[in-house]
Every structure is written in C-alpha cells, then in structure tokens.
Amino acid sequence: MFFDPMYFLIIAPAVLLGLWAQFRIHSTYARAQQMPAPLSGAAAGRHILDSAGLTDVQVEEIPGQLSDHYDPRDKVLRLSPEVYEGRTLAAVGIAAHEAGHAIQHAHSYAPLVVRNAAVPAAGIGTYVSIPLIFLGAIFSMSTPLGAMLIWLGIGLFGAVVAFQVINLPVEFNASARAKVQLVSLGIVSDEELIYVSKVLNAAALTYVAATLQAILTLLYYVMRFTGGSNRD
C-alpha cells in the first residue's frame, strides 16, 4: 500500500503531461517577457476592470513569482512584481487573465459559483483524504473501521477531483475573456495576441495535467480497494 508500482504506472501519463506543461509555461513565459507591451500588467488589469465597470476592484502588488490571483472575498486583483510592474506581453496576458476572473465573479459565471461553493469540501479533502486512506489501510479493508476510513478518505478525495474538474472551464473562460479584452481595448495587436495565447494556453495545460493526475489517483484508490482489497 505504501509503495505500489501500479500507482506510478497509472499516473504516468499525467506526470509526463505535467512536465511538458511546466516546460511550455517556462519557455513561453520567458519569450513573452522579452516582448514589450504599451502598458504594465497593473495598468492593463486596471484598464480592463474599469472598462468592465469594476471600478470597485482594487489592483495590488504581492510578493512571489507567478503568485497572481483574484481574491473574490476582498475583490482584489493581486499581481506578482514581474506582472504588476512589467511592460511585457507576458505581464499583460497574466494580468488580463486574472481580470477575467473578476469579470466572471461580477457576472456570477455559473462554473465559478459552483467552484467557489466547493472550496470548503475541497480544502478539507486536500489535507484529510490521504491520511484517512492510509490510516484505513493500516486497520485493513477487511475491518469495519478500516473500510469506513478508506471510503471516507476516497469520498473526500473525490471532492478534490470534482473541484479540479469544475475549475477547468473557469480557467479556460478567464483566458478567453482576457484575449478578447486585450485586443478590443487595443492593449495588444492580433499579432501580439499569438504570444499571449501561448502563455495562457501553457498555463491552462498545467491545470489539465493536475486534474488528470487527480482523476487517475482517484481511479487507483477505487481499484486498489475494490478489486485489490482481497490482498489486504
């Protein structure tokens, strides 16, 4: 249970996809960082928000690299120093993506509403599911307590998987909104949008890889404790 080669075999496609996604995001981001933009990431984000009527959403700088995110609770667009201050296609692309999340929030975009509602269950599942599964395995699937702990853990991990699946359309839609806004507001040209799209597509691929790994991990646990329970 604690080291099963079958697990690594099952998740191998997701791991390979994740490595490819990381390579793509670093290479496309590095290239787009070298290409100038007329506005900084902060100014681009502010322009997009104001154009959408979201003057109440603030734009702030936070420490870290690629730590950019939109906080719906405080209605704040938080951008890393490279994005906040950078006048590059990479900076305006990432800022526009996060502004896209703010627009989703303002319009009550259905997948975002569902995703936000799933945050508590996903948060608990992230920290509790695996320990419960391992603890249940120690007691053994053949005992009532062990079976209860294992299936409770699998259920909580399923909530994590559901959250990640729901998150995919949220991320893709935010990128789509970003591209439309960047061109329609004249922040980037159609030619420059190609490089922005490469950065955003590579970032989206990391979400796909993480979701695939979570799905395959859930599949492994279900297979392990149904078809493989007789070996416990």
pLDDT tens digit string along 13-34? 999 999 999 999 999 999 999 9
Largest CA distance in the chain: 65
Strand order in the sheet with 76-79: 58-61, 76-79, 69-71
Angle at 204 between CA 203 and CA 209, to 5 degrees: 100
Q: Is 231's pLDDT higher than 50?
A: no
User: Using CA atoms, how far apart are residues 51 and 43, in angstroms rounded to an integer?
Assistant: 12
Report, as residue numbers or ranges, the catalytic residues.
98
Rg (CA), the chain: 21
Q: How far apart are CA 228 and CA 231, in angstroms?
A: 6
How many whole angstroms from its chain centre is CA 144? Answer: 36
Residue 42 corresponds to which amino acid? Answer: A
Which band of pLDDT confidence, cut at 50, 70 and 90, is reported for residue 2? low
Separation between Cα atoms, residue 87 and residue 96, nearest integer Å: 13
Q: Are 13 and 212 in contact (CB under 8 A)?
A: yes
- The owner of tokens 């599911």 is 129
Task: Report, as an integer, the average pLDDT of 192-208.
Answer: 94
Tell me the per-residue pLDDT of 98-117, one tens digit each, with 9 for 90 and over.
999 999 999 999 999 999 88
- Pseudo-torsion of CA 93, 99, 100, 102, nearest 10°? 160
What is the per-residue pLDDT across 127-143, written as a single tens digit (0 to 9) for each?
999 999 999 988 877 88
* Whole-angstrom distance, CA of residue 111 vs CA of residue 170: 6
Q: Are strands 69-71 and 76-79 parallel, antiparallel or unpaired?
A: antiparallel
Backbone φ, ψ for residue 35 (5° rounding): -105, 120
The candidate with the shortest Cα–Cα distance to 134, out of 156, 107, 153, is 153
Contact 85, 41 (CB under 8 A): yes
Q: Provide the residue ranges of all domains of the chain, joining segments of one domain with +.
A: 5-231
Residue 42: alpha-carbon gap to chain centroid:
21
Instruction: Say which amino acid occupies 44.
Output: A
